[in-house]
Amino acid sequence: MAGYMIDTAAAIDGLTAEGIPVRQARAIVRTIAQRNEEVATKGDVVAVKGDTRALKSDLRAVKSDVVALKSDVRALKSDVGALKGDVVAVKGDIVALKSDVRALKSDIVALKSEIDAKMSALEARLNMKIYLMAATVVGALKALEYLGI
Dump pLDDT digits (tens) for 90-99. Answer: 999 999 999 9
pLDDT in tens, 113-136: 999 999 999 999 999 999 999 999
Element (H, E) at 17: helix 8-17
Tell me the pLDDT band of 1, cut-offs 50, 70 and 90. Answer: very low
- One-letter amino acid identity for 5? M
Q: Please report, for the chain, the start and end positions of each structural domain, with discontinuous segments joined by +.
A: 1-39, 40-147
Nearest to 4 by CA among 50, 46, 38: 38
pTM: 0.41
Q: What angle do CA 10, 12, 14 make, to 5 degrees?
A: 65
Render the burial of 85-120: b for 16+ CB within 10 Å, e for the rest: eeeeeeeeeeeeeeeeeeeeeeeeeeeeeeeeeeee
**52 pLDDT tier (thresholds 50, 70, 90):** confident
CA atoms within 13 A on the CB side of 23: 0
**87 pLDDT higher than 90:** yes
Instruction: Flag whether pLDDT at 2 surpasses 70.
Output: no
DSSP state of 21: -
Q: Tens digits of per-residue pLDDT, 25-43?
A: 999 988 888 876 666 677 7
